[in-house]
Amino acid sequence: FIVRELISGNPVSGLLTAGEYTVEADISSLTGYDSYDITPQPGQLIVNPSVGCNDRIKASDLCKESATLVDYPEITTRLQFTYENRLNVPIFIPLGPNNKFKGNAFRVGTPPELFLPGTHTFDVYTDGGSTQWEVKTPGCNSAFKSANGSNADPCSTSAKVDVTDFDESIVIEEGISGIYPNPVENSIVFPMHGQHTSFSIKVFNEVGMLVMQKDYPVNTYYDVTMDISMLKSGMLYFMIEKNGKREVHTILKR
């Protein structure tokens, strides 16, 4: 069999990380079928660690603030959900009955599908109506439910999250602020303020899949422009890794 990454279609081997893949028969060594037309039909392969209820994904926090979105006049509110994955490996939970929003709100955005180790956030924009996130981790029949977004407390910080997901000793000392525009259509700008450094930017889509990565060598950077015109519309998560530290920014791609 041939196992391929779902997005890129590239073949993978060895120990697979959590996620969704396609799998198909390897017909390259078949012989004697010159007069036949053989077409493999890929199937679905989902890889997950074995998880008990003690280590299930938890909706640990929720806050809200006023927000507007161009092209969505209904939007009045940004909800910031926080989840916790206590394992040291990702957990994959597809959108559907085990990973869904409930409530009557008009929404822009979805929960992630790939839950990275540690504590992370994701944003959803609503009209202020009822929104509750419900997630059921494989291996545990009990769903974890968030608070209701219509009753959430105000957010005390901006949408930028300092990610300390793999090492609790990691602290963001000098974050990158003022990223623009948001929402974005083609190019996004990262103000580096003349920093002499090397860094990388990883872009994840709204289901947690890595869709782009750029590595920048040691140099003095001011404004760094990244072309994302080829990416699909939706929520994007930009993870910036610099000097052994990480931070994540949530951007809406139109």
Provide mean pLDDT across the span 155-174: 41
94, 128, 157 — which closes off a domain?
A: 157
Query: Are 150 and 176 found together in one domain?
Result: no
Beta-carbon count within 10 A of 158 CB? 10
Q: First-to-last CA distance in the chain?
A: 38
Which of the pair, 156 or 194, is modelled with greater confidence? 194
Residue 170 scores a pLDDT above 70: no
Q: How far is CA 225 from CA 18, 188, 239, in A?
A: 31, 6, 15
CB contact set of 104 (below 8 Å; sequence gap of 6+): 129, 130
For the whole model, what pTM was predicted? 0.56
Domain of 87, in residue numbers: 53-157
Cα–Cα distance between 94 and 113 in angstroms, integer? 5
pLDDT tens column, 6-54: 767 788 888 777 777 888 888 877 888 778 888 878 887 878 777 889 9
In 3D space, the residue among 71, 94, 247, 102 whose CA is nearest the CA of residue 165 turns out to be 247
Residue given tokens 């139109």 in the structure block: 254
Cα–Cα distance between 66 and 64 in angstroms, integer? 7
Query: Are 28 and 72 found together in one domain?
Result: no
Residues 252 and 110 sit within 8 Å (Cβ to Cβ): no
Query: Are 174 and 123 found together in one domain?
Result: no
So what's the pLDDT on residue 207? 63
pLDDT tens column, 196-207: 888 888 888 766
Using alpha carbons only, give the angle 97, 101, 104 rounded to the nearest 5 degrees. Answer: 125
Q: How many domains does the chain have?
A: 3
CATH assignment at residue 213:
2.60.40.3080
Query: Are 101 and 174 found together in one domain?
Result: no
Query: Are 103 and 38 found together in one domain?
Result: no
So what's the pLDDT on residue 16? 79
So what's the pLDDT on residue 102? 94
pLDDT tens column, 75-86: 999 999 999 998
* Partner residues linked to 248 by β-bridges: 161, 239
Query: Are 167 and 203 found together in one domain?
Result: yes
157, 189, 216 — which closes off a domain?
A: 157
Query: Are 59 and 122 found together in one domain?
Result: yes
Query: Are 13 and 68 found together in one domain?
Result: no
Residue 171 scores a pLDDT above 70: no
Query: Are 69 and 109 found together in one domain?
Result: yes
CATH assignment at residue 129:
2.60.40
Which of the pair, 100 or 183, is modelled with greater confidence? 100
Residues 231 and 213 sit within 8 Å (Cβ to Cβ): no
138, 157, 176 — which closes off a domain?
A: 157
Residue 136 scores a pLDDT above 90: yes
Query: Are 149 and 63 found together in one domain?
Result: yes
Cα–Cα distance between 83 and 41 in angstroms, integer? 36
Residues 243 and 198 sit within 8 Å (Cβ to Cβ): no
CB contact set of 125 (below 8 Å; sequence gap of 6+): 67, 69, 72, 75, 77, 78, 79, 107, 108, 109, 252
State the average pLDDT for the chain.
82
So what's the pLDDT on residue 58? 93
* Coil, helix or strand at residue 47: strand
Provide mean pLDDT across the span 97-117: 90
Query: Are 138 and 85 found together in one domain?
Result: yes
